[in-house]
């Protein structure tokens, strides 16, 4: 069974731009969660989607948004990029959100 895939793996943007990251969960998984990882703040929860609905949200500004499609694939968008948004963005999927999560390799975003 294929694992969680994330595209792109690496991305370079400049301040003020916007970016969209994609996550394809493991087949059959309906929950997708997003995390931001930085050296200073560690792993921080962004949001979770289940059956196309945002079920939980972390403490991030409204510039961070996401969505989930009917096939459970998910995208997250960051608008008006800031230097501090440079991070590894991780996506994780699970059957229903309440059990073990399987993480993808992440997308490393660099904002210049």
Partner 1 sequence: DAKTTQPPSMDCAEGRAANLPCNHSTISGNEYVYWYRQIHSQGPQYIIHGLKNNETNEMASLIITEDRKSSTLILPHATLRDTAVYYCIVRVNDMRFGAGTRLTVKP
Figure out which of the listed residues 49, 101, 109, 111 binds partner 1, where binding follows CB under 8 A: 101
| Residue whose entry in the numeric block shows the structure tokens 């792993």 | 43
Figure out which of the listed residues 25, 106, 109, 111 binds partner 1, where binding follows CB under 8 A: 106
Give ∠ CA 109-13-82 in degrees, rounded to 5.
Answer: 80
Minimum CB separation of residue 45 from partner 1 in Å reads 5
> Quick one: 102 exposed, middle or buried, by C-beta within 10 A (0-12, 13-18, 19+)?
middle
Residues, the chain: 112
9 binding partner 1? (CB under 8 A): no
Minimum CB separation of residue 34 from partner 1 in Å reads 11
90 binding partner 1? (CB under 8 A): yes
Q: Which stretch binds partner 1 (CB under 8 A): 14-22, 35-43, 69-77, 79-87?
A: 35-43
Cβ 56 vs Cβ 81: under 8 Å: no
């Amino acid at each position: 069974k294929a694992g969680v895939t994330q595209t792109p793996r690496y991305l370079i943007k400049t301040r003020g731009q916007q970016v969209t990251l994609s996550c394809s969960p493991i087949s059959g998984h309906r929950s997708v969660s997003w995390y931001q990882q930085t050296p200073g703040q560690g792993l921080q929860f962004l949001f979770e989607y289940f059956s196309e609905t945002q079920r939980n949200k972390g403490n991030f500004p409204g510039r961070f948004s996401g969505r989930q499609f009917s096939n459970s694939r998910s995208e997250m968008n960051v608008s008006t990029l800031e230097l501090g948004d440079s991070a590894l963005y991780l996506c994780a999927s699970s059957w229903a959100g309440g059990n073990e999560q399987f993480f993808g390799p992440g997308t490393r975003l660099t904002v210049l």
